[in-house]
Amino acid sequence: MGFDERAKNYDTRSKEVRAKVLGEHLVAQWKKYPTFPKSILDYGAGTGLVTIEVGPAVDVVYAYDESKPMVEKFKEKLTDRGIENIKPIDDIEDIPEMVDCVLSSLVFHHIDDVAAGIKMLLKYLKPGGLFSLIELDTDDGTFHGDSINFTGHNGFDRTWLKEQFEACGLENILIEKCYEGDKMIERKPHHYTMFSITGQKPEA
């Protein structure tokens, strides 16, 4: 089942709890850099679980997802909650400005060429801006064992992902554990851990 089909029932209580933890973690990590971001591009924002958690800390978030049903669900939540500083965009090329931070949460394990994905997004990031990913630590494939058509990465080795950041020119890289939990797979709990990795685009 793809994300279009999952949009209606994607949000669960456990995902909302996790998103709150991730949002608080990201804000704390960004505060460790000299300049806190005022504008964010959230790439692969889905239904906005993490986006909504980081939104209050910044002036504006541009949220993009290729799944239109996910975006529609996101827009409904923004309307219901009266949130005005998060702006869903239908095409990533519609972003009206370069941003202080690019964020992507649990997206890059779906991207075959990680370095190419990073480079594509860096063109929307201001010099000196922050590039942040939330990702799964490497596992044996169990986490996505219930996803029939999953063909991505089974999480990431932190050192390997840091090397991809460095190869793309990012510097001042921070890597921190940000979450651990259990996911039910075939009625059995599968323990998993997640980490954040943030790098800084060099000043021009």
Q: In the predicted model, is pLDDT for residue 3 greater than 90?
A: no
Average pLDDT score over the chain:
89
Name the residue ranges covered by the structural domains of the chain.
3-200
pLDDT score for 142: 56
User: What is the pTM assigned to this prediction?
Assistant: 0.87
CATH of the domain spanning 3-200, picked from 3.40.50.1970, 3.40.50.300, 3.90.1150.10, 3.40.50.150: 3.40.50.150
Lowest mean pLDDT among 11-15, 97-101, 128-132: 11-15
Res. 113 pLDDT band, cuts 50 70 90: very high
Give pLDDT tens digits for 136-190. 998 865 554 555 565 666 789 999 999 999 999 999 999 999 999 877 666 776 7
Residue 111 DSSP label: -
pLDDT score for 8: 56
- Strand 125-136 and strand 188-200: the pairing is antiparallel
pLDDT score for 191: 78
DSSP states of 124-181 as a string?
TEEEEEEEEEEEEBP-SS-TTTT-TT--S-SSB-HHHHHHHHHHTT-EEEEEEEEEEE
pLDDT score for 204: 73
pLDDT score for 13: 72
Q: Return the H-helix or E-strand segment holding 21.
A: helix 13-30
Quick one: tokens of 46?
Answer: 């889905």
